[in-house]
A and B are shown apart, each in its own frame.
Chain A
């Protein structure tokens, strides 16, 4: 599978999905007006990846900001990971939040309560 590598902009995150490494990353700001357009290729990619995933997949989410329309798309990403996990593969989500950013921590906890995949909440201390 071809990896997905997208450079971040002021409104969209940096993305690295590489099926050889099994470490996926979404990082930066995710506040586009049309988030479906941005996330659909990622969700489609995961749909293919989930057919023959690595035995272990780690996902690092390191977002500074995300808007509510991205929040639904991120849930779609997690739902694909949940399917991979359900098929007896190891999956972990590392949810990074900046020191004191309780809103971002709470957002991670929301997903953790909806998605049956192990989450690790990691505080970034400057």
Chain B
């Protein structure tokens, strides 16, 4: 059986999917996703504070994918996408969920997981300090990322970063990131 990037998604029956995308992440796709999610939130008269948080977190999620995804494995079904990713935005009872998925080379897993764990074991105050430290001390990488994306997401949502790695083959895994932007945090 071939690897299906949707196989490992959590229960898809909860919540209402407002955006589903699978494929290449380029600048136009980012614009389109942002516009469409923003429009949908405006249509349902979403509270501006929650709307802004979702928008911000979506920007960072998309740009993390844009700057950091590894190339797809040679035998993966989609070979045309330079930056292949999966993106789902859902409205759930407690707010909005943003789920991303992308390939990570095995040798890059440890570093990524360590970053997430560090963020997840930090208090809100520590995350604020970490953000400021990276802002002030780290140069923008060659790829254009600032190393701040995940820290910013954790800071703005106030929630832990849920994630998992599913092995594709010995050299690649598929990385899922599951972000909750809670309504509570935005009140």
B132–A113 contact, CB under 8 A? yes
Q: Which residues of A contact B55 (CB under 8 A)?
A: 65
A114–B52 contact, CB under 8 A? no
B14-22, B84-92, B144-152: which lies at the A interface?
B144-152
Q: How many Å lie between the Cα of A35 and that of B131 in the bound state? A: 18
A15-23, A47-55, A66-74, A116-124: which lies at the B interface?
A66-74
B7 within 8 A of A: no
B contact residues, total (Cβ < 8 Å) = 32
Q: Which residues of A contact B120 (CB under 8 A)?
A: none
B166 within 8 A of A: no
Q: How many Å lie between the Cα of A27 and that of B76 in the bound state? A: 43
Q: How many Å lie between the Cα of A65 and that of B136 in the bound state? A: 20
How many A-B pairs have beta carbons closer than 8 Å: the answer is: 70
Q: A11-B31, A100-B49 are in contact. List 6 more A-B contacts (CB 8 A).
A: A34-B144, A65-B55, A71-B146, A72-B135, A103-B53, A114-B136
A35 to chain B, nearest CB (A): 8
Q: Which residues of A contact B128 (CB under 8 A)?
A: 106, 110
Query: Would A10 and B63 be within 8 Å (CB), given that A110-B135, A114-B135, A114-B136 are in contact?
Result: no
Please report whether the interface of chain B is mostly helix, strand, loop or mixed according to DSSP.
helix
Give the A-binding residues of B (Cβ under 8 A).
27, 30-31, 34-35, 48-49, 52-53, 55-56, 59-60, 63, 66-67, 128, 131-132, 135-136, 138-140, 144-146, 148-149, 151-152, 156
B52–A68 contact, CB under 8 A? no
Most buried by A among B27, B34, B128, B140: B140
Q: How many Å lie between the Cα of A87 and that of B138 in the bound state? A: 26
A36 within 8 A of B: yes
Q: Which residues of B contact A67 (CB under 8 A)?
A: 56, 59-60, 63
21 contacts between A and B (CB under 8 A): A10-B35, A31-B63, A33-B67, A33-B144, A35-B144, A36-B144, A67-B63, A68-B151, A69-B145, A71-B135, A71-B146, A72-B139, A72-B148, A73-B140, A100-B48, A100-B49, A101-B52, A103-B56, A110-B135, A114-B132, A114-B136
Q: How many Å lie between the Cα of A110 and that of B66 in the bound state? A: 26
Q: Which residues of B contact A10 (CB under 8 A)?
A: 31, 34-35
B140–A103 contact, CB under 8 A? no
Q: How many Å lie between the Cα of A113 and that of B140 in the bound state? A: 21
A75 within 8 A of B: yes
A103–B52 contact, CB under 8 A? yes
Query: Would A101 and B146 be within 8 Å (CB), given that A68-B60, A72-B135 are in contact?
Result: no
Q: Closest A-chain residue to B66, C-beta based? A: A33
Query: Would A31 and B140 be within 8 Å (CB), given that A100-B49, A103-B52 are in contact?
Result: no
